[in-house]
Amino acid sequence: MHIFEVVLIFLLGAVCLSLLAHRLNVPYPTLLALGGMAIALIPGAPTLDLPPDLILALFVAPVLLDAAHGTSLRDLRRSWRPILSLVVVAVGLTTLTVALVAKSLLPDMPLAAAIALGALLAPPDAVAALAVLRHVSPPKKLSIILEGESLLNDASSLLIYKLAVASVVTGSFSPVGALPSFLLLSVGSIAVGWALARLMVIVIGTIQDAPAATIIQFLCAFGVWIIAERFGLSGVVTIVAFGLTAARRQTLSSRSHIRVFSNSTWKAATFVLNVLAFLLIGLQLRPIFLALPAFEKWHLAGIALVLLTVVILVRLAWVLIYGLARSQVDPERGKKEDLRKGRLLVGWSGMRGIVTLAAALALPTEFPYREFILLTSFVVVLGTLVVQGLTLGPLLRWLKLPEDRSASDELATARSAALEAALKEVEQDESAAAARLRLECQEALAKAHKGLDPHDSSDNALRQRVVPVSRRALDQLRDTGVIGDEAYRIVEQELDLLELSSRPAK
């Protein structure tokens, strides 16, 4: 069977798994991981190899850019302590513990290879956690912590991974000697990502064709990564800085039809990349597992299960220890019972995903213990997605955390500001169309701050006139920190649909 036909069949299967996951209310990466395991067991399945240096750029760059674009800098600043503890300490502890345990169980494994294994197992993937959490309305702060951690710990862990892989080539690994390179990579990557994002926003703002603009966005995702790698910088840190900077653009800096088109395209693209990552790992695991002697394969699988346990316990232990230390410093900080419940939920939300798989696949073919690292990566991803992914929803319901209305309150504030700006724009207009629009705005304000319905059309030209002033009011709210990016994006999309619905048909 040709590779193209295989990919089409697996994509169709992945869509079916995604629909099934939605019906079962479980994160779709969990079923994709089980699908990847099934692929590894298919007799006669073809091999599908990609160059190792292509894999990180292909899978990680667009996924990280998409995640960075949806992350709120305001929320990151407000929750910087717990996020930093996870990004730095939890990643460091996981990397070190996994490396030491792997080295003790496999004495012949080079230290740098063990550290590379620890680094690629360290970053959790919040996609699976948030797929469950958004169905049951957790406290917003917990979602912010998981989103911020998911974005930034990829950068910290893959920096360690990159240095460890490079150290295998030189034959030595010195954490102290690597520190200056680590800092230089970070600072230089942030600067380059910021500069390229500013340039990209200007370029996109001049384009009117939605498909062309979306293609340029994807080219930027891969191009930024390639530029960073060519200059010896970190592609991960550069793409994160690029995405965070580009997300801060003003809503008037690009056109509504481009945003609507590109948002849908990016959602589909990130889903396909997740599918292909599990497909690749499944197709690569089968020949590896079959080539190993029976005793050795089960011995290595046992070690992989030990490391899976280590990964889960290290994160959970650190989150609980950090929470205990914080409560000793600030004993009056909220209800202690709710804080303990929140920490338990964060500690259990450590599922691994596409970044771990892509980093394992990207190892050079001659890398020491590459087959074992691939096997362990898949076992850890599968184990965390099944064990934690399927129990996260029931755990959240069992904990009965208090309802958090901060997200809905911010959304109401954003909608009110947009509607009030529209009212102010037409308050002196005595036309019948303006009177109808004022009535629509007042009714929307009265109905729990709903946005304007694009189907209840008053005068289209008048709507085209008020949308820009509503956008400026929305920008001001975000720039002053009154609302975060979640409420901003929702109202921005509502204004996009309102603007598109009021345009004359061509």
User: What CA–CA distance (Å, rounded) separates 117 from 305?
Assistant: 14
Does position 470 have pLDDT exceeding 80, yes or no?
yes
Q: Which domain holds residue 481?
A: 406-501
Does position 400 have pLDDT exceeding 90, yes or no?
no
354-361 helix and 111-121 helix, angle to the nearest 10 degrees: 150
Q: Is residue 506 part of a domain?
A: no
Examine the fold and report which residue of 365, 399, 433 is the final residue of a domain before the chain moves on.
Answer: 399
Does position 61 have pLDDT exceeding 80, yes or no?
yes
User: What CA–CA distance (Å, rounded) separates 419 from 215?
Assistant: 34
Token readout for 490 is 């929702």
Same domain, 327 and 453: no
Residue indicated by tokens 């970190």 = 234
Lowest mean pLDDT among 15-24, 272-281, 282-291: 282-291
Q: Which residues contact 399 (CB under 8 A, 6 or more apart)?
A: 341, 344, 345
**Three-class DSSP category at 184:** helix
Same domain, 341 and 213: yes
| pLDDT value at residue 128 | 65
Does position 57 have pLDDT exceeding 70, yes or no?
yes
If one counts every other C-beta atom within 10 angstroms of the C-beta of residue 171, the result is 8
Single-letter amino acid code for the residue at 80: W
| Per-chain mean pLDDT for the chain | 81
Which candidate, 359, 362, 383, places its Cα nearest to that of 310? Answer: 383
Examine the fold and report which residue of 371, 399, 427 is the final residue of a domain before the chain moves on.
Answer: 399
Q: What is the mean pLDDT of residues 151-160?
A: 80
Same domain, 343 and 476: no
pLDDT band at 129 (very low <50, low <70, confident <90, very high): low
| pLDDT value at residue 332 | 47
Same domain, 313 and 450: no
Q: Do residues 363 and 108 lie in contact, with contact meaning Cβ atoms separated by under 8 Å? A: no
Lowest mean pLDDT among 28-32, 330-334, 364-368: 330-334
Same domain, 159 and 300: yes
Same domain, 198 and 291: yes
Chain-centre distance for alpha carbon 80 = 17
Same domain, 289 and 209: yes
Q: Is residue 215 part of a domain?
A: yes
User: What CA–CA distance (Å, rounded) separates 67 from 484?
Assistant: 15
Token readout for 400 is 């009965």
pLDDT band at 48 (very low <50, low <70, confident <90, very high): low
Residue indicated by tokens 């304007």 = 452
What's the total number of domains in the chain?
2
Dihedral, 275, 281, 282, 286 alpha carbons, nearest 10: 170
| pLDDT value at residue 142 | 83
Q: Is residue 336 part of a domain?
A: yes
Q: What is the mean pLDDT of residues 42-69?
A: 77
Same domain, 440 and 298: no
Between the alpha carbon of residue 496 and those of residues 39, 82, 240, the distances in Å are: 42, 35, 26
| pLDDT value at residue 423 | 82
Q: Do residues 275 and 364 lie in contact, with contact meaning Cβ atoms separated by under 8 Å? A: no
| pLDDT value at residue 468 | 87
| pLDDT value at residue 386 | 86
The residue among 190 and 405 whose pLDDT is bigger is 190
Q: Where are the alpha helices (DSSP H) in 427-459?
A: 432-446
